[in-house]
Amino acid sequence: MKESVKELIKEELRVAEKRLKAAKILFKENMLEDAVNRAYYAVFYAAKAMLNSLGYDAKTHSGLISEFGLRIIKEGLLPMKYGRILRRAFEMRESGDYEIGVFFDRNEVKGLIKNAEEFIKRAKKFVREQL
């Protein structure tokens, strides 16, 4: 694997961590829609890092979800729950960003942030195993 790809993967994981930190701050400030957005991007960049560690990339959000399901979940490299976390985070982010008047329950957002944390932790382990 090229050194530039390894650097990209490390940067994606760093960005995932920053987005997770932002999600937690926004949650604490009761800015739930924004916390959902940041939590989704934490998961998004972690998923991107995993795909890149296998030599795959996706240009769109739906492409990333599809590739992640095909290359990682369907191949049995990770349990199905990680695919569900990615998809649910995407769905919540979509409604939070594009629907006016959407309401998120604090516990639901707290769960999303907890799942994002777990997803990143697993992504780091996954990437270490690939590199």
Query: Averaged over 68-84, what is the pLDDT?
Result: 98
Q: Give the integer Cα–Cα distance in Å for 123 and 82.
A: 10
Query: Averaged over 60-89, what is the pLDDT?
Result: 97
Q: Give the integer Cα–Cα distance in Å for 86 and 7.
A: 23
Query: Averaged over 9-35, what is the pLDDT?
Result: 98
pLDDT in tens, 35-72: 999 999 999 999 999 999 999 999 899 999 999 999 99
Q: Which amino acid is at 18?
A: K
**Domains by residue range for the chain, with CATH:** 3-130 (1.20.120.330)
Determine contact, residues 13/103, Cβ cutoff 8 Å: no
Tokens of 85: 């976390």
Determine contact, residues 105/27, Cβ cutoff 8 Å: no
Tokens of 131: 């590199």
Q: Give the integer Cα–Cα distance in Å for 6 and 127.
A: 10
CB atoms closer than 10 angstroms to residue 43: 31
Q: Which amino acid is at 20?
A: L
Determine contact, residues 131/50, Cβ cutoff 8 Å: no
